[in-house]
Amino acid sequence: MRTQVAIVGSGPSGLLLGQLLHLSGIDNVIVERVSRDHVLSRVRAGILEEGATDTIRATGAGERMDREGLPHDGFELAFSGRRFRLDLHALTGKRVMVYGQTELTLDLMEAREAAGLETFYAADNVQPHDFDGDNPYLTFSIDGADQRIDGDFIAGCDGHHGVCRKSAPDAAVTVYEKVYPAGWLGILAEVPPVSEELIYAGHPRGFALCSMRSRTRSRYYIQCAVDDRVDNWSDEAFWDELRRRLPPDAAEAVTTGPSFEKSIALLRSSVAEPMRFGRLFLAGDAGHIVPPTGAKGLNLAASDVHYLHEALAEHYAENSDAGLDAYSARALARIWKAERFSWSMTMLLHRFADMGDFDLRVQRAELDYLAGSDHAAAAMAENYVGLPY
Annotation says 296 is catalytic? yes
Cβ-based neighbours of 9, under 8 Å, separated by 6 or more: 30, 31, 32, 156, 157, 158, 159, 162, 164, 284, 286
Q: Which of 288, 296, 306, 315 is catalytic?
A: 296
**Residue 241 — φ and ψ, nearest 5°?**
-70, -40
Catalytic residue among 200, 220, 307, 327: 200
- Angle formed by the axes of helices 12-23 and 50-58, nearest 10°: 50
Of 12, 22, 72, 247, which one is the catalytic site residue?
A: 72
CA distances in angstroms from 365 to 72, 101, 205, 324, 356, listed in the order given? 27, 35, 18, 44, 14
In the chain, the amino acid numbered 344 is S
Q: Would you call 200 a catalytic residue per the annotation?
A: yes
- Report the C-alpha gap between 264 and 106 in whole angstroms: 23
List the catalytic residue out of 220, 221, 327, 384.
Answer: 384
With contact defined as beta carbons under 8 Å apart, do 28 and 6 qualify? yes
Active-site residue, selected from the candidate residues 128, 292, 309, 327: 292
Whether 384 is catalytic is: yes
How far, in Å, CA of 276 to CA of 321, rounded? 13
Residue 72 bears catalytic tag: yes
Q: Of 389, 167, 159, whose CA–CA distance to 279 is shortest? A: 167
Instruction: Read off the amino acid at residue 92.
Output: T
Q: Looking at the annotation, which residues are catalytic?
A: 72, 200, 292, 296, 384
